[in-house]
Amino acid sequence: MSKLVPPHGGKGLVCCLLHGTELEAELEKAAKLKTISISGRENGDLIMMGIGGFSPLNGFMTRADWKSVCENFLLSDGTFWPVPVTLSCSTEDANEIHTGDEIALKNNAGQIMATMKITEKYEMTEADKKWECEKVYKGNGPDSEKFWEVALEDHPGVQMVMAQKDFNLAGPVKVLSEGDFPEKFAGTYMTPKQSRALFDERGWGDVAALQLRNPMHRSHEFLAKIATEVCDGVFIHSLVGSLKPGDIPAEVRIKCINTLIDGYFVKDNVVQGGYPLDMRYAGPREGLLHATFRQNYGVNRMIIGRDHAGVGDFYGLFDAQYIFDEIPKPEDSGKRLLCQPLKIDWTFYCFKCDGMASLRTCPHTKDDRVVLSGTKLRKALSEGAEIPDHFGRDEVLVILREYYEGLTEKVEIKMQSHAEASTMK
What is the side-by-side order of every strand in the sheet holding 347-350? 355-358, 347-350, 369-371
Residue 380 contacts by C-beta under 8 Å, 6 or more apart in sequence? 386, 387
Residue 24 CB partners (closer than 8 Å, separation 6+)? none
Residue 371 β-bridge partners: 348
Summary count for the chain: helices (H), strands (E)? 15, 15
Please indicate whether residue 296 is annotated as part of the active site: no
CA 371 distance to own-chain centroid: 24
What secondary structure does DSSP assign to 409-420, as a single string?
Answer: S-PPPPP-GGGS
369 part of the active site? no
Sign of CA dihedral 203, 207, 211, 217: negative
Compute the distance between CA of residue 186 and CA of residue 254 in angstroms, rounded to an integer: 11
CA–CA distance, 367 with 311 (Å, rounded to integer): 26
Helices (H), 203-283: 218-230, 250-264
Asked if 322 contacts 313 with a C-beta cutoff of 8 angstroms, the reply is no
Please state, in angstroms and rounded to a whole number, the distance separating the CA atoms of residues 218 and 300.
Answer: 24
Question: What whole-number distance in Å separates Cα of residue 326 and Cα of residue 146?
Answer: 24
Query: Which residues are CB-neighbours of 117 under 8 A, at least 6 positions away?
Result: 59, 100, 101, 102, 171, 172
Instruction: Out of 196, 213, 285, 301, pick the active-site residue.
Output: 213
> Residues 214, 253, 369, 378: which is the catalytic one?
214
* 406 CB-near residues (< 8 Å, 6+ apart): none
| Listed residue (169, 189, 226, 224) closest to 50, CA to CA | 189
Catalytic residue annotation: 213-214
